A and B are shown apart, each in its own frame.
Chain A
Amino acid sequence: MVAMRLDKHVCMWCGACVGVCPVNSIILFETRIEFQDHCTDCLICERMCPVGAIYHVDENDGHIQLQSEI
């Protein structure tokens, strides 16, 4: 089990993550992203975010972000 997290200092409130979430579990309140409970931990939003504002935490609360080769 992981949980999605947002780095609000990085987020540009663009809604790209919202549009690709397969279960419509993210809401953008103008400038504030909220993950809802029915998230399935698919990490699609984390890959989609153009600036890397989304990361996740594992059961030990460790911060994890998908690494990039670019």
Chain B
Amino acid sequence: MLWAKLEDEYDVIVVGAGPGGSWAAKHCAEEGLRTLMIEKRQEIGSPVRCGEGMAKVWLDELGIKPNKEWIANEVQGARIYSPNMAHIEVNEKHAGNECGYVLHRSFYDKAMAREAARSGAQVLVKCMATAVLKEDDYVTGLKIHYMQQEKEVRAKVVVAADGFESQIARWAKMPGLRTNLKSKDANACFQYNMIGVDCDVRYNDFFVGSVAPGGYVWVFPKGEDQANVGIGVNLSKITGAAEAKRYLDKWIAKMPEYRKGKIIEQVCGGISCSQPVKKSHANGLILVGDAARMIDPLTGGGIANAQMSGMLAGPILKECIEKGDVSEQALKAYDDAWRAEMETQLLRNYIAKEKVLDLPDETFDKIISALSEVQLEKITTYTLLKALETKHPELVAELADLL
């Protein structure tokens, strides 16, 4: 869309054209709402900030047809390696929300934005929201910048899908809306896309323990000799500069399969490993995806949750706007809807993340070795404890509160 065609008021303005924003814009536009989506980058989906793992089951639930354009590889499962390199294998269906497809996010994000545009949403790139407009305790719009121009645009509801930065919520300063993160609830991430590596295209591999304090190293294969080799390190474990990159470089140097690889892309970013926000709605404002801290705190996967929340927002915003009530009370329906879909899982995995945050290497070794000796149909807390019981009863007590 051209800036000149920009209207003074929309039903909905979505900030951010990540998967969450595009899916919110698509579903709002499909409901007939006059929708504008703005993105501060000049190109949607680039630079990539992602390991690009995504579960197959989620695509279905989100109403997305798999497309060769943005699928790099299909994996059958995940392997989790302990510090002593014992490993367990988890079938794709039970491996959480990061396993199934390895995507090309730069194409995926564009495909999602394309759907939003085709559904009728206006899209403006290189356009940044720099301030939140408020009147009588309501968020009523945004100040936006495009090239050298500036404009105030009104909206009945602002959808903050601005990702990890989550600044719209903080600029809005609405009661109860908090998106700040504690150090132990954030991970610093770094990744190389490497060519000429010996990866196994059938698996997404995870390496846990002190190689990546409070997080893990991942290898997500995108092709026979090509993989995303990345790391997340918990911020509470970082004392010096550039440690995410340092830990990854150190790990790669030890691995003959990967150290011969050639780097064709570098990726950098932050993820939350927190509980989701206590409140994702205020008068005239809702938060979607990473902005609402919906990333799975254990796996770090956030694409699907972002899109799910965006999708749920569509019909709810339609109803609120139609009734002329975009108050906090009315928009609570959105908060309830995404919680019903994903909160239990997020809270359970938050407890699990808190557990593994300080787990010593020996404990990882014991757990993963014990599990590798039994055939696990499905890794659940119960099967995990059951398998540990015979070999390491002392650990069962320690992990029992996970239940």
Contacts and interface: CB of A to CB of B under 8 A. Distances in A.
Interface string B147-180: 0000000000000000111110011000000001
A57 interface: no
Given A47-B235, A68-B239, A12 B164 contact: no
Given A15-B163, A19-B186, A20-B181, A51 B126 contact: no
Q: Which bracket fits the contact residues of B?
A: 35 or more
Contacts of B167: 18, 24, 27
Nearest to B249: A70
B190 A28 contact: no
A3 B113 CA distance: 39
A48 B239 contact: no
A70 B243 contact: yes
Contact residues of A: prevailing secondary structure: loop
B183 interface: yes
A12 B47 contact: yes
Which of A14, A22, A54 has the most B CB atoms < 10 Å from its CB?
A14
A35 interface: no
Secondary structure type dominating chain B contacts: mixed
Q: How large is the interface on A (under 10, 10 to 19, 20 to 34, 35 or more residues)?
A: 20 to 34
A66 B165 contact: no
Contacts of A68: 239-243, 246
B260 interface: no
Nearest to A15: B165
Interface string B271-295: 0100000000000000000000000
B41 interface: yes
A69 interface: yes
A48 B235 contact: yes
A19 B164 contact: yes
Interface string B126-163: 10100000000000000000000000000000000001
Contacts of A24: 167, 170-171
B29 interface: no
B19 to A, nearest CB: 16
B366 interface: no
B269 interface: yes
Nearest to B169: A24
16 contacts: A12-B47, A12-B266, A15-B165, A19-B186, A19-B270, A30-B40, A30-B126, A47-B243, A49-B242, A50-B188, A50-B243, A50-B245, A65-B240, A67-B240, A69-B240, A70-B247
Interface of B: 40-42, 47, 49, 126, 128, 163-167, 170-171, 180-181, 183, 186, 188-190, 235, 238-247, 250, 266-270, 272
List 5 A-B pairs, minimum CB-CB distance, nearest first.
A68-B240, A52-B242, A16-B270, A50-B244, A52-B241
Given A50-B268, A67-B240, 8 more contacts: A12-B47, A16-B270, A24-B171, A30-B42, A44-B183, A47-B188, A50-B189, A70-B250
